[in-house]
Amino acid sequence: MLRKDILEVAANVIVVVAGIVFLGTWVANRQSTRPRTTANVTVAPGTQLAPPPGYSWEGHAPTLVLVLRQGCHFCKESLPFYKSLAELEHSGRLNAHLLAVLSDQEAEGRVFMTNEGLEIQSIFGVNPSTPRAAGTPTLVLIDGHGKVLQSWVGKLDAGGEAEVKRVVVKGTNRSG
């Protein structure tokens, strides 16, 4: 009888611990996929950042870094906006060079960029903390010396997208 009671208590403890682990994992996943707003700025203006491997800030002043990740639904939902920025860059109407930085390895990252039709310079296999991104997507505008001018985190609403365009499109009023 005592052995049955011990087994029952042990089974109950295992069920409770498994439930706590499951709940903790679920909460952590919900928080990491929650959209972030422009109020959740990743990198403060004036912060000095090293360029990602194989890139030079000086060669492309300024640079608008798009920190993306395959499987990020906010990145995917933001693609029409990023494509509009790419079109502006290709037509010479952008005051910045676009650079996608993905944590994905090159093969899967290239598939993502190609399948989504986002034709901009890309660097793969970069730890998202390298540009100090709190999550994906993150946009960081960096001058020719590696100094952060402005940053935006998460899927931007129409106002956030308009703000980015005010800052990087030629002939518009620059803010900040």
Whichever domain contains 160, its CATH number is 3.40.30.10
105 and 152, same domain (yes or no): yes
138 and 81, same domain (yes or no): yes
d(CA 64, CA 68): 12
Residue the block writes with tokens 């910045």: 96
> The domain containing residue 131 runs over which residues?
63-168
pTM (2 d.p.): 0.72
Tell me the pLDDT tens digit for each residue of 107-144: 888 998 999 999 999 999 887 555 556 678 999 999 99
Q: Does any domain span residue 50?
A: no
| Amino acid letter, residue 116 | E
Query: Is residue 99 predicted with pLDDT exceeding 90?
Result: yes
Q: How many domains does the chain have?
A: 2
Mean pLDDT on 2-20: 68
d(CA 41, CA 44): 7
Q: Does any domain span residue 111?
A: yes
13 and 79, same domain (yes or no): no
What are phi and psi for residue 35, nearest 5 degrees? -65, 140
Residue 41, pLDDT score: 43
